[in-house]
Amino acid sequence: MLNFDYLNNLNEKQKEAVTYLNGPLLIVAGAGSGKTKVLTSRISHIITSGKASTNEVLAVTFTNKAANEMLSRVLVNLKKKKFGMPWIGTFHSICVKILRKHARAADLNYNFTIVDQEDQKKLIKNICKSENIDTKKISPNYILNIIEKWKNKGWYPKDVVLKKSERLESSFLKIYEIYQKKLLDLNACDFNDLILHCIKIFEGNPDITKMYSKNFKYILVDEYQDTNFIQSKWLNLLSQENKNICCVGDDDQSIYSWRGAEIKNFLEFDKIYENTKIIRLEKNYRSTQNILSVASSLISNNENRVGKTLFTDGEEGESVYLDSYRSGKDEAIGVGEKIEKFKSKFKLNNISILVRAIFQTREFEERFLKIGLPYRIIGGTKFYERAEIKDCIAYLRIVNQPRDDLSLERIINVPKRSIGETSIKSMYDYAKKNNYSLEESAKKMIELNLIKPKTKLGLNSILSLLDKWRFDLRKKINQVKLLQIILDESGYSQMLKDKKDLENENRIENIKELLNAMKEFDNLESFLEHVALATSIDQDWEGQKVNLMTMHSSKGLEFDVVFLPGWEEGLFPHQKSMEEKGQSGLEEERRLAYVGITRAKKVAFISFSMNRFYQGDWIDSISSRFIDELPEKNLEKNNQFMQDENDEFDFNQDIDYESEIKSPGWLRYQKRIKS
């Protein structure tokens, strides 16, 4: 007698999704609707009902963690201790298996090497060197990102299609050609080749495609909204024979277009696969009804979606709090005070602050350090530990204190000045021998002609700049202006602007936020003292900590209490996203807001600031258009930290958004770009 115990704890829609086994199926699984349970129960049902053996089920995830969890849950469902399912894994792990068996068809040997990111960078650097391309101006990372973008579209070098506007990218095509040839010469491939080569094998060898397609009687895909073009194509080829492909995901949580994810794979699933059945999982097991109503109302403003409305049988819960603050600093104080009050009711681990951009963590970190509130940064580094911030601090420290050898060592060759490790070691040795500081040692060695000509040139440059900046400091130039001068004259700002790197935008934003922080201090000494104390505080408090992270990093997580600060035009929705991607960019920003809200189980706070301090100026902020899209009946609105009634924000004011894309925050962000 068949055992279907795993069906007992499913609601009607979940049960329907598990037991429907005849043809293509799209499961639209809302946040907190139990999609993993459905997916694993479906695998269990396929095997238990004899529809397919363990070898005939292909289950694809995006992470090894998700694949392992899937397998362990299936084991529990089937009441087995050990169980072999060879085709449960990530896209890449499954492709490796296929590629090892058919390597010759991809011009490789079966024992090919998979190169890691470091190897890829080395390879690109070598190619750039041979092609006389300056890697100081164009980062190997940037070139690799472009190559990855092409591979995600299924393009080998011969297939690349470029627009006239992509002149810079066209110069990388030759690098791509050489890169692919070198990989083949080395009997190697990179991560993205694994799927690309599989496609090549399938398209060039119909018999191989048919063999796998016949074998996989059922195909299941998790987080389908995050798939790119080539992953979708790969799935399509493998599902040709049996047509039993089941994709699970949530189009409203599609937030990774910058990584190549294509939401149209999800939206057009029923066009790609004939006779598709669509089942919506709308019952939520995570959040209160008020939180769900706010999230549903917001996301309903998106046009490109399959459509669903989340509900719960649980409690209505507290209203979602909408708070306005006078300034970003007040916002950090207010959030800190609320967390202090929550400490007795909720564990700190279950409280999270979700920001749109990583530079926003600074004000919260400063406040939490001041009041002794333990915190952690998820998916990133604490503000004063970020490399570009440490570089800036090192520049300021060596200007302020000429004997600060560690600071000088950090920045002496940043940007590159032909001062290598060997030269620095010889300067240290000379300093130790003569009881000099590192700077004194360098000056003396130049004087005695103990330095190589090329290194001497770089050393003279930085040493004369240090003298000049110390003169600026003596002239009582304020610390904000001084850092701007240092960044400009050292070439650091230009290095960040020139170096085409996807992470550089964050680095620049972080430095601008540092300039904000410095304005709050009377002089350079007091600021450096503050940084020293902030970084020396034992931040590895044991036990419970508040979580600080971006909304992108929060996907898949849940917390009792969620704070969503900085809901202001230009910041959220982010101006750059709207400028680059127009309406689709605005819709993705709205999906990001939806993800943020649906992380909350019990309490959610949305807030914005009426003013932001930016590089020495107070700039008027405009509340996010997303705030106007929240349902009044599910909100509790509060003006916080207002000095007088004239300072209060009118929640009922009618803000005229100039267009769908260009926001009233435009001037503010233009100022950012130009500075």
Q: Any idea which residues carry the catalytic annotation?
A: 35-36, 222-223, 253, 599
Residues 502, 505, 510, 515, CA torsion sign: positive
Q: b/e string for 576-590 if b means 16 or more Cβ within 10 A?
A: ebbeebeeebbbbbb
**C-alpha angle 327-330-331 in degrees, rounded to nearest 5:** 90
Tokens of 351: 């409280």
447/426 Cα distance (integer angstroms) = 15
Q: Which of 50, 51, 59 lies closest to 88 in space, CA to CA?
A: 59
Query: Who contacts 142 (Cβ-Cβ below 8 Å, separation ≥6)?
Result: 499, 500, 501, 502
How many residues comprise the chain?
675
Q: How far, in Å, are 295, 429, 611 from residue 661 at the CA level?
A: 22, 59, 22
164/186 Cα distance (integer angstroms) = 34
242/233 Cα distance (integer angstroms) = 16
Order of strands, edge to edge, in the sheet holding 546-550?
A: 375-377, 546-550, 351-355, 559-564, 600-609, 320-325, 635-639
Residues 504, 507, 509, 515, CA torsion sign: negative
Q: CB count, 10 Å around CB of 110?
A: 11
Helix, strand, coil shares, percent, the chain, to 5: 55, 15, 35
Q: Look up residue 319 and give its DSSP letter.
A: P
Tokens of 161: 């299609």
Q: b/e string for 231-264 if b means 16 or more Cβ within 10 A?
A: bbbbbebbbbebebbbbbbbbbbbbbbeebbbbe
Could you give phi then psi for residue 505, rounded to 5 degrees? -60, -40
Q: b/e string for 520-555 if b means 16 or more Cβ within 10 A?
A: ebeebeebbebbeebeeeebeeeeebbbbbbbbbbb
93/3 Cα distance (integer angstroms) = 31
412/431 Cα distance (integer angstroms) = 16
96/392 Cα distance (integer angstroms) = 44
